[in-house]
Structure 1
Amino acid sequence: MDDLPPGTLLGRQVDGVTCGPSVLVVTAVLTGSGWPGAVADRFADAQRTAHRQANRLWPRALGTTPWGMRAWLHRHAPAAGRYRVRPATAGALAGVRAAGVPVPLLVGSGWLPRHWVLVLPPSGDGRWRVYEPGSGRVRALDPELFGQGAPAAVTRLLGWPRPWAVLLPAR
């Protein structure tokens, strides 16, 4: 995972509601669980499969809930370990750095959560490397921007300015 510098293309989400499933599939691959199901060479199919599996009761048109993300990782990406859902408080965001595994992060507007991204284990310079599925690329983000009230800078990198929830390892 350390060899994924900013700019690395990992794969784009196939539509406006598969950011969460894209994050799930990439998490499964990066943690050694492999591709989910029998769609190892088709990222779009893997996203759709993960979306169906994660949203058993929740309408897929509304994206993927944090609890659906957590349950999917438990069932389909055992090498990732167990996660717990936490509000994206300053303390929870500080825990991302020490996680040592990819960490799904839900961002959105000031009113609504809207988009899943994946924080990769940090680089040596203190910036987060973040897989942003809308572009399909890894981006570099200074996590201090969240606390500094820099919504335009965060939006340029992640698509949305405010962190809402984070899935942290349950160790």
Structure 2
Amino acid sequence: MSDRRAAVRRERKERLKAGKRKAPDAEIIRAAEQGKLDGRIIAFCVIANLLYDLHGFRKKRIEIFLKKCNKEATRFDQEGLQFVLKSYADKLIAKINNSDVVQKPKSIEEQIYLNTRDDLYVSSIALMLAVLNDDYGMASNMKNTGRLDTIMEYCTNEYVKLQLDPGKYTPEWYVEQTREKTGLIL
């Protein structure tokens, strides 16, 4: 428990420090930090909405799921978990690459923001897929008909929507959708 709290404090401290920087690269660092937050938020909202709609998860069960994900996130550096996450991330990246949709950035800060957001989106979803497999018995199969396969397909579709209309599908929009559906306040 204290490892998780320490990691959260450390991350919050780095975000505050990046927000106060006045160095020439401060805008880039702020864009990267915002991309991290937005990628995680979007990933959780996408999964929470799907679990609510498709698998009957309600507010309390989604909160428990989030706590399990936070607990697993503290083990992110362990080799065994990295192996599992890499396999889920590779599957998701392959599905995303098949969609062949890319958002065109207007500046270097926006490029860094988009890259960081997309990386954290994929890694956060991979972590949540590992938790769903381990704790809830959801699995993938070779025929792409397993519950995790449908979740990956849904996440890919949401990623495509995010790329095609970034003005509408913002992190705030996803948070609002999740709040309306599940009652969770993020």
Settle same-fold status: TM greater than 0.5.
no
Q: Which has the larger radius of gyration?
A: 2
TM bucket (normalised to shorter chain) is under 0.3
TM norm structure 2: 0.26
When you count strand as a share of all residues, which structure comes out higher? Answer: 1
Q: Which structure is richer in relative contact order (CA contacts within 8 A, separation 6 or more)?
A: 2
Instruction: Give the TM-score taking structure 1 as reference length.
Output: 0.27
**Going by fraction, where is helix more abundant, 1 or 2?**
2
